[in-house]
């Protein structure tokens, strides 16, 4: 399934502390009015992140998920990476080495139909009788 929906990339401030989070959060919430938003947070300039910054990330994730969207993190600096690992917040997000990789991840997969010969679900282990035979009696 490839998506043609636009991906919004947002550059995070150098310091993701209480003051910056208070200013950045309304900007993010303003763009989170569309259904199923696709967002990448660019961490390439983040040098400091504190608990208010982590809380802001969690609020953004909660809002995006409530809209059936996805939020990914990209280009984490060593400082940001350490804080997100220590708080275990990194486990809640898909993290990418670059913004380009994160954006491509929204578009880079497609579903293929299984060939007709791959009816692996039609046989049950054991005596090999078909599912319908089992259900019929």
For the chain (length 137 residues), average pLDDT per consecutive 10?
76 95 91 88 97 96 95 97 96 97 82 46 50 50
With beta carbons less than 8 A apart as the criterion, state whether 52 and 17 touch.
yes
Count CA within 13 A, CB hemisphere, residue 118: 4
* Domains of the chain, CATH where assigned: 8-136 (3.30.750.24)
87 contact partners, CB below 8 Å, separation of at least 6: 54
Q: How far is it, in rounded angstroms, from Cα 106 to Cα 64?
A: 15
Give the pLDDT score at 5: 80
With tokens 């282990």, the residue in question is 125
Q: How many CB atoms lie within 10 A of CB 30?
A: 8
Give the pLDDT score at 1: 41
11 contact partners, CB below 8 Å, separation of at least 6: 42, 44, 45
Distance in Å from the first CA to the final CA of the chain: 38
Give the pLDDT score at 33: 82
């Amino acid at each position: 399934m490839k998506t043609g929906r636009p991906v919004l990339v947002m550059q995070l401030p150098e310091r993701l502390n209480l003051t910056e989070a208070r200013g950045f959060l309304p900007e993010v919430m303003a763009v989170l009015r569309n259904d199923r938003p696709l967002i990448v947070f660019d961490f390439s300039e983040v040098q400091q992140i504190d608990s208010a910054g982590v809380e802001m990330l969690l609020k953004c994730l909660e809002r995006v998920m409530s809209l059936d969207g996805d939020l990914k993190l990209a280009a984490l600096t060593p400082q940001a990476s350490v804080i997100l690992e220590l708080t275990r917040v990194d486990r809640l997000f898909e993290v990418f080495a670059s913004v380009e990789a994160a954006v491509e991840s929204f578009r880079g997969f497609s579903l293929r139909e299984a060939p007709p010969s791959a009816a692996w679900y039609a046989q049950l282990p054991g005596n090999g009788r078909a599912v319908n035979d089992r259900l019929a009696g």
